[in-house]
Amino acid sequence: MKLLSTALLPFMLACMLFSCRQPDSSLRIIHAGSLTVPVKEAADSFMKRNPGIRVLTEAWGSKAGARRVSDLGVPCDIFISADYKVIDHFLIPGHASWQIPFAGNELSIVYTPQSRYADEINAFNWHEILLRDDVVYGRSDPGSDPCGVRSVLVTQLAEIYYGHPGLSEKLLSRHRNMIRPKETDLLALLEINALDYIFLYRSVARQHRLEHVRLPDSLNLRNPELNDWYAQARTETRGTAPGKTIMETGEAMVYGITIPHKSENPELAARFVQFFLSEAGQAIMERNGQHSLVPSVSDTREKIPAELRKFVLPPNR
């Protein structure tokens, strides 16, 4: 028995060393709350194509999610933001080197058939409805979530668009107790009628089959051709360190993706990003209400891994 054990020892050691060298077969993704449905669909499809791989996901307001990577060191193989600039401001250069813009969206006013004045609200009077005394509406926190920033910017643009001085402050001063960390946190409050309306991405409204007002392009932050108009709106938000702030200026919505420096499985992460940005992955985004921007322009193109560079346009394009 002792001889048998001795003979088996080298084999057992070799097996142990081999198993120790095997890469982890799981991916950890931190993503924007508004991407919960399409990321889950993409993860399920990727796992089906790659048996034995697990994809674990966490939904946060994009800024809060970025702080989990930068401040808390939470394991993260892929970070997907509702605003590519969150990657620029919070992760590059210390925690990531590049970002790829991949999809757009638009802001809308979302409600249910039970919402007060649901039969009256439209793209012309929504701001008047939200100011009525018996109406309660919610928005997300600009310090944690790009949707919260964009909600503020839209109120400023509405003040100019409708020629209504003071409109933004009137809207933003109401129902501050209904501000939540991310926009999808507001859905449950809407569904139980604690809220009549919420500022929310149109893609999420479509995914949850909710009623919504489609705002004019001058307000919805969808159209990049209107970036000069959108830039009239700006707001200061909490920065990357205590006491620091960031000035955020209106522009068309652009989502972004990156692989953080401390990814525990960068090769597998790159495979997922390739799938996510491929025609099949972007079809998932389109199905869930977000228009693809791939191939896109990235000012970090030279730092993007070679196998992913095909998803961004060459310089001067």
Q: Quick check: 214 and 221 in contact, CB under 8 A?
A: no
Q: Which residue is associated with the tokens 């360190």?
A: 241
Whole-number pLDDT of residue 243: 84
What is the residue-averaged pLDDT of the chain? 92
- Helix extents (H) in 72-142: 84-86, 126-130
Quick check: 22 pLDDT over 70? no
Proportion of the chain above pLDDT 90, given as a percent: 88
Task: Assess contact for 251 and 230: CB atoms under 8 A.
Answer: yes
| Residues 277, 149 share a domain | no
Domain that holds residue 30: 24-104+254-311
| Domain final position from 208, 225, 249 | 249
Asked if the structure places residue 10 within a domain, the reply is: no
Sign, Cα dihedral of 262, 259, 107, 44: negative
* Helix runs in the chain, H state only: 2-21, 36-49, 62-70, 84-86, 126-130, 146-161, 167-172, 187-191, 202-207, 217-220, 227-230, 266-277, 279-287
Asked whether residue 83 falls in the same domain as residue 177, the answer is: no
Question: Is this structure's pTM higher than 0.85?
Answer: yes
Question: Do 167 and 276 belong together in one domain?
Answer: no
- pLDDT value of position 317: 57
Q: What is the CATH number of the domain that holds 228?
A: 3.40.190.10
How far, in Å, CA of 220 to CA of 105, rounded? 9
At residue 194, the pLDDT reads 96
Identify the sign of the CA torsion 250, 251, 254, 258. Answer: negative
pLDDT of residue 262: 95
Residue 154 amino acid letter? V
264: nearest Cα among 85, 76, 19: 76
Residue 13 above 90 pLDDT? Answer: no
Q: Do 138 and 173 lie in a common domain?
A: yes
- First-to-last C-alpha distance (Å) of the chain: 72
278-284: list long-range contacts, CB under 8 Å, 24+ apart. 280/45, 281/42, 281/45, 282/102, 282/103, 284/38, 284/41, 284/42, 284/45
Task: Decide if 15 is inside a domain.
Answer: no
Which tens digit of pLDDT belongs to each residue from 273-294?
999 999 999 999 999 999 999 9
Q: Label residue 12 by pLDDT band (50, 70, 90).
A: low
Indicate whether 286 and 222 sit together in one domain: no
Q: How many domains does the chain have?
A: 2
Assess if residue 286 is contained within a domain.
yes
Non-local (6+) Cβ contacts of 264 within 8 A are 24, 28, 75, 77
Instruction: Please report whether residue 11 resides in a domain.
Output: no
Q: Are 130 and 197 in contact (CB under 8 A)?
A: yes
Please tell me the least confidently modeled range out of 10-19, 187-196, 308-317.
Answer: 10-19
Taking every pair of Cα atoms in the chain, the longest distance, rounded to a whole number of angstroms, is 92
Can you read off the two tokens belonging to residue 262? 């401390």
Q: Which residues contact 232 (CB under 8 A, 6 or more apart)?
A: 156, 157, 160, 250
What does residue 126 show for φ and ψ, rounded to 5 degrees? -55, -40
